[in-house]
Structure 1
């Protein structure tokens, strides 16, 4: 299956309000009911537009679903969602990253998206690939680049930024993500906070910056 991009049309500028309404309506319906149960007619009705308006933008329902997925992923992993100013202490940044990452991957919308993607994997494996490339890899790559920058600044010493990023994110997810996946009660806030702080401290011990060389007397 090929994930078609929205068609490019000449003539009058597209109505961006309709664009937003279509994606919002489609996203709500796909996440609530799953891909198969949602029709383009239902999206058009919820968005307050005609089917022709949707088909002028998307070749088919697959293309519309891909656009919804891409928009959600890009919104979720925008740089401002994770990293603060450059002068933020490293430990605070790691804690902030972990907290926001857990909010992202264990939130209700994330769980809905995960269920839809799992259901669609056999029919359209490219959908899962799109999510992995747009959300997961983008986040990991941005985190790894931050680790490289902090290493160059002398605040960390990370030899394998990509591997370190995977290990940190994977360790942070841990029990919290499993509980969310199975619909179990979440970890109590104080316990979750302690887990995140411990993960940050372990990361800092493993990747402590080299001490400055002693100056000759």
Structure 2
């Protein structure tokens, strides 16, 4: 008889193979485009195991997306905004954010959010929280910590929220619509970040004093 620890390790390995395969299929085909049988045809196992463990395809999908949210949030939470110079720090922060949000896997998760948002609204909100809202939280905390002087009656969270939208909306939309063949180059990410900081801090009218050069 095999030791219980061996059976446990083997079972954990099979579950990981199942969820890894389900992840790739859901990201590629969406919820409706994937069946339990399609997953099992790739990874093996029985339908009973899926239903016992996850309650069916919907439970498996929820488990997969929850893990993807944690995966997306982790590199963001590990980010540190360096320096005290506002312009330079924002440029570096912007470059890092663009690198993360324009990764193929992150884009696939956002496509999934758009496609399945009505069916799974709570998961859609979780995707938003793990990406955009985590970025806003990090930047807002940095702005508060450094006691930077901004317009009165506008919170640091609002400034951070607007900066992230200004930075990511265009590149992300173009990537989601297939206008980019691959990830942006380092030079392109830097250009977009610098231009965003320039507009965000100094506006579009002449007469300001740009420092993001």
So what's the TM-score if we normalise by structure 2? 0.72
- Identify the residue that residue 14 of structure 2 maps to in structure 1: 18
For structure 1, which segment, 37-46 or 12-21, has the greater mean C-alpha deviation from structure 2 after superposition?
12-21
> Which residues of 2 match residues 181-192 of structure 1 at below 5 A?
181-185=176-180, 190-192=187-189
1:204, distance to aligned residue in structure 2 (A): 6.2
Root-mean-square deviation over aligned CA pairs: 3.1
Given the alignment of the two structures, is residue 200 of structure 1 paired with residue 197 of structure 2, yes or no?
A: yes
Query: Which structure 2 segments of 5+ residues have no match?
Result: 1-6, 204-213
2:116 — aligned with what? Answer: 120
State the distance in 2 between where 1:176 and 1:80 align: 18
Cα distance in 2, alignment partners of residues 16 and 87 from structure 1: 43
Q: Between Structure 1 and Structure 2, which shows a larger proportion of helix residues?
A: 2
Query: Cα distance, 1:28 vs. partner?
Result: 0.2
Indicate conservation of the 8 Å contact 1:98/1:172, yes or no: yes
Tell me if the contact between 1:102 and 1:173 (Cα under 8 Å) persists in the aligned partners: yes
**In structure 2, what is the equivalent of residue 34 of structure 1?**
30
Q: Secondary structure of 1:183's partner?
A: coil
Q: TM-score, normalised by structure 1?
A: 0.71
The structural deviation recorded for 1:27 is: 0.9
1:58-117, CA deviations, whole angstroms, 9 ceiling, x for partnerless residues? Answer: 122222112211211211121566523766865554333322322333332233223322
Name the counterpart of 1:49.
Answer: 45
Paired residues in the alignment total: 191
**What are the superposed Cα offsets for residues 23-44 of structure 1, whole Å, 9 maximum, x if unpaired?**
2111100011111111122223
Q: Of residues 157, 161, 164 in structure 2, which corresponds to 1:166?
A: 161
Secondary structure at 1:56's aligned position in 2? helix
